[in-house]
Structure 1
Amino acid sequence: MGGAKNKRQKREDYRAAMREEGVTELPRKKFYRQRAHANPFSDHQLVYPPSPDQMDWSSLYPDYVVEEAKDNEMAGLDATPERAPMTTKPKRLSKEVEVADIGCGFGGLLVGLAPTMPDTLILGLEIRVSVTEFVEDRIKALRAKHHEAKLYRNVGVLRANTMKFLPNFFRKGQLTKIFICFPDPHFKARKHKQRIVSTTLNSEYAYVMRPGGIVYTITDVPDLHEWMVQHFEAHPSFERISEGEQEADPCVEIMRTETEESKKVERHKGQKLVALFRRLEDPAW
């Protein structure tokens, strides 16, 4: 007779059950244990494309895959084994990913945005393994639950280290919105280099964003809020959006209320500090 299952076995069995077809039960966090933070400078053995053109999004957004012509599918079949293609061509989507939630956590913002932006592909980027798996299972369950309405087909999640590989996934000027919600504050001065907003990283955000696009930031830490504002305002590619325009943006309310961290701050009656920044037009050469 086998002994009682330990916690790890229970978590593995639960996750396996969640991956069965047709499951509509939303996943429970206790089966996706993970440390609160991950070191972005560590080697996480991540898989990433050499360039955006080689990224295959089909598994994340299967409803948007474009069927290629048969002559393209037959290409290379008459080649000898020695000359056969080494890689397959990524499947093409009818739309591009336009919105990115950097450090998406347990996916609250993704789930909140998906129904309000049904014609836009939204991607969550998360470095932690178990948290990414939770969001994957959450999206799968929501898609099954709302199968008839075809909701949540426009949202996906990817395990990635944004600090290192953002330009590997997105081409120049691809994104219209970037969300940075309740990032790790890294309070100690020697840890400030790990903050997700910096002079260098802001240049990468500017690269992947099209002019007129918006970076959304929110935190409950005043020092981090001031840090993000200072770094974005000092960057020549961004300008801060006025408070009036900020409060008229429906995405701001979703950001304030739908993320897990925002709900935690609400329970503790904390403050939510918001700042938006618009990507400016590139200067003429």
Structure 2
Amino acid sequence: MYLAHFGFAQYPFHLTPNTELFLGLAPHYEAIQTVTSALDMGEGVITVTGEVGTGKTMVCRMLMALFAEHIQLVYLPNPLLSDIELRQAIAQELGIERFDQVSIVDDIQARLIELHRAQKQVVVLVDEAQALSDNAIEALRLFGNLETAQHKLMHIVLFGQPELDERLAQHHLRQFRQRISFRAQLRALTLQESVAYIDNRLQHSGAQGEILTLNHKRAIWRASRGIPRLINQICHKALLSTYFCRQARVHNLALFDAINDTVDSRKPKFKRPLLWGWSH
């Protein structure tokens, strides 16, 4: 809607993860490095956890984009699967066209051995893994047990909210928990990282000149607590309001309203945003 007004080639703060706008800030870079290093070492199960909006799906998509050709990807975006449905989803992702419930595990194992002989590394990515049922987790554990004398036939990466760690800490899931070799945790962005995050998205979208002042970016960081999704929401709403007012740069009241509309519990203590730079 406001692309032409600001001269953008794309929306800089769209909520859908856009790998073209990815900036390798420490929290996300470290998570990607943890997963890729663990896979290079042949580890079986890795978890990536973080609060809502910290960038788990972006990290997941970056991994998918960065994976080398020898990796056979199995992507499971829907965790609300029974153990039967999970096996079926994995079979379909591995290109197994015909299967039944009696032979499906054997069919998957045969396919994994075939891929291993072709020097393919099978990696299963599960998004929103905190929602997996106990039966689905058990099915993954059994697949993780499949191996040759020296190599795992299936590597599993779970992306989830902190509740995933709480789930896996339960006594009855201890067998699966013991198979987790590496863990990565996504944290919120610091002030410096948040400023770099905002600047990177504006610049890569074609911004000309200063649309947000440094004081504005500080206010956005404080209100969002450094959570990328909230940063995106605040900036998007502020740009939209600025467009409606036919302003070239974000004005204080537009940002003030965007913050209050997004994070009600983090309202600034002052009634009007006169301390954020421009007073208009």
User: Which structure shows the bigger proportion of residues in helix conformation?
Assistant: 2
- The structure number with the bigger radius of gyration is 2
User: Which structure shows the bigger proportion of residues in strand conformation?
Assistant: 1
**Where on the TM-score scale, by shorter chain, does this alignment land: which range?**
under 0.3
TM-score by length of 1: 0.26
